Amino acid sequence: MTGGVAAYKSVELARRLRDAEASVTVIMTEASARFITPLSLETASQNRVYRSLFDDPMAHIALPSAADLLLVAPATANSIAKFANGIADDLLSTCFLAATGVRTLIAPAMNRRMYENPAFRRNLDSLRESGVLQVGPSQGFLACGEEGIGRMAEVPEIIEAAAAALTPKDLAGEKVLITAGPTREYIDPVRFISNRSSGKMGFALARAARNRGAEVTLVTGPTCLTPPPGVLCVSVETSDDMLFEVQNRAGIDATILVMAAAVADFGPECRADSKIDKTDLLTLTLKKTKDIVATIGGGGRRPFIVGFAAETGQNPDRAEQKMRSKGMDMIVFNDVTEPGSGFDTDTNRVVLIDRAGRHALELMSKDDVADAVFDRLREIKA
Ligand code: C5P
């Protein structure tokens, strides 16, 4: 931690990192201890807090050697200048200099004019060129009362960047196209047919693939979720829009297609141009939507295809049949009626089905399901 107003967020950050099962050791600069007490960080990290080069004469070597990640949050302009120029005049800057070979992530926080100052930009560019990772800053209200760029990234974004920094890049070189969320099939300009999909599974897959080094495009129907940073996000509404985007993108250069979207299976036969009077809308004639995955699965040069089958009831045979008939390589089955599974939950219990067999997994977070899908995919592709 270095000395900026955003230091108050670092208490929460230490706490959330522990929740994510990280072991956390905090190094505070003298300036940071003017904003937040070391006792708060000791409590949040459940660990000794280091402040001076002279607390423990070998700490500047021992601490970086024991770390998987060196995370500086907040990182002030002064600390970044020191890191970029190899200045080692306190415990944190000395640890930074000794942390060669340790993944390093900084979360800059400062006034917008300081952030845009060419002297600062040179320091930041030089750190980036030497492989230091960066999260934030974002735009918004700054502590000084001004508005602009310079706010430290929020805690969940920093945790996500830390997880990405720590994940082995076993999907490097892959171009992964993922679909997520529901689609909307319009009856008229104000009414549509849709389903309960929240998009959480597709977004978790996008984060997992990005963390593992893939280039990720996420084609998503309407959701309340924030697009994951570092992912190309394409918003669509109808199944026809989704078909267009998937065909264009999968056809060009995707190496993996993951169809996690709950594409509406039926839509109105025709869409009215103006709002239908309620007295006129007594019968709705439906037609089947085009099957997106089947059009890709039936093609010649095609990506590795993973589909999803959300069923009501334990029906993995039906899911396997879908995998074969739609030309997929793998399908993820889940029973949406099971507690903790399916729509709008953060967890899922799935069966991974491919041409070699089935793997029933325990109830787990959607993030863990996403990693399990890519683990299995790598086994099959190998
Ligand atoms: O709806 P169904 O259970 O058949 O969906 C299985 C898979 O097919 C899912 O991966 C879904 O994204 C995909 N699908 C599609 N186009 C549709 C309907 C479903 O690509 N129109």
Do 210 and 134 fall into the same domain?
Answer: no
Determine the pLDDT at residue 266.
95
Residue range 217-228: average pLDDT?
A: 96
Do 186 and 335 fall into the same domain?
Answer: yes
Question: CB neighbours (10 Å) of residue 36?
Answer: 18
Determine the pLDDT at residue 252.
72
User: How many angstroms does the Cα of residue 246 sit away from the middle of ligand 1?
Assistant: 13
Q: Measured from the CA of 331, which atom of ligand 1 is nearest?
A: 10
User: How many angstroms does the Cα of residue 263 sit away from the middle of ligand 1?
Assistant: 6
Structure tokens at 21: 């099962």
Please, which residues have CB within 8 angstroms of residue 371's CB and are 6 or more apart in sequence? 208
Do 69 and 98 fall into the same domain?
Answer: yes
Look up residue 31 and give its DSSP letter.
T
Determine the pLDDT at residue 317.
93
pLDDT band at 14 (very low <50, low <70, confident <90, very high): very high
Model pLDDT for residues 330-366, shown as the tens digit of each residue = 999 998 888 888 777 899 999 999 999 999 999 999 9
Determine the pLDDT at residue 71.
98
**Rounded to the nearest 5°, which phi and psi values hold at 23?**
-95, 130
Do 214 and 340 fall into the same domain?
Answer: yes
- Show which of 137, 166, 195 is a domain's final residue: 166
Determine the pLDDT at residue 159.
95
First to last CA, the chain: 42
Give the residue, by CA position, lying nearest to ligand 1 atom 17: 291
Which residues span the domain enclosing 301?
A: 175-381
pLDDT band at 43 (very low <50, low <70, confident <90, very high): very high
Mean predicted lDDT score pLDDT of the chain: 94
pLDDT above 90 as % of the chain? 85
Cross-strand bridge partners of residue 45: none
- Show which of 110, 136, 166 is a domain's final residue: 166
Number of domains composing the chain:
2
Model pLDDT for residues 44-68, shown as the tens digit of each residue = 999 999 999 998 989 999 999 999 9
Give the residue, by CA position, lying nearest to ligand 1 atom 10: 307
Determine the pLDDT at residue 282.
76
Determine the pLDDT at residue 265.
94
Look up residue 287 and give its DSSP letter.
E
Do 247 and 141 fall into the same domain?
Answer: no
Residue range 182-197: average pLDDT?
A: 96
Directed axis angle between helix 366-381 and helix 200-211, to 10°? 60
Do 206 and 261 fall into the same domain?
Answer: yes
Structure tokens at 41: 């960080």
Is residue 28 within 8 Å of 50, Cβ to Cβ?
yes
Within 6 A (CB) of ligand 1 lie 239, 259, 261, 263, 265, 289, 291-293, 307-309, 322
Cross-strand bridge partners of residue 148: 140
Residue range 284-309: average pLDDT?
A: 91
Do 274 and 341 fall into the same domain?
Answer: yes
Model pLDDT for residues 162-171, shown as the tens digit of each residue = 999 999 999 9
Determine the pLDDT at residue 124.
98
Please say if 270 is a catalytic residue.
no
Do 161 and 179 fall into the same domain?
Answer: no
Please, which residues have CB within 8 angstroms of residue 186's CB and are 6 or more apart in sequence? 192, 237, 238, 267, 268, 271
Determine the pLDDT at residue 177.
97
Counting other chains too, the contacts that 350-355 makes at CB distance below 8 Å and 24 or more residues apart are 351/316, 351/319, 352/376, 353/316, 353/319, 353/320, 353/323, 354/323, 354/329, 354/330, 354/380, 355/329
How many Å apart are CA 241 and CA 293, to the nearest integer?
14
Q: pTM score, two decimals?
A: 0.86
User: How many angstroms does the Cα of residue 348 sit away from the middle of ligand 1?
Assistant: 18
Residue range 321-327: average pLDDT?
A: 94
CATH classification at residue 9: 3.40.50.1950
Determine the pLDDT at residue 142.
82
pLDDT band at 299 (very low <50, low <70, confident <90, very high): confident
Residue 10 scores a pLDDT above 90? yes
pLDDT band at 114 (very low <50, low <70, confident <90, very high): very high
How many Å apart are CA 78 and CA 215, to the nearest integer?
34
How many Å apart are CA 75 and CA 312, to the nearest integer?
50
Give the residue, by CA position, lying nearest to ligand 1 atom 6: 309
- Show which of 138, 166, 194 is a domain's final residue: 166
Residue 146 scores a pLDDT above 90? no
Do 155 and 209 fall into the same domain?
Answer: no
CATH classification at residue 335: 3.40.50.10300
Do 233 and 323 fall into the same domain?
Answer: yes
User: How many angstroms does the Cα of residue 231 sit away from the middle of ligand 1?
Assistant: 23
Model pLDDT for residues 264-277, shown as the tens digit of each residue = 999 999 999 999 98
Do 232 and 366 fall into the same domain?
Answer: yes
How many Å apart are CA 288 and CA 115, to the nearest integer?
53
Structure tokens at 43: 């409590």
Do 183 and 156 fall into the same domain?
Answer: no
Determine the pLDDT at residue 300.
76
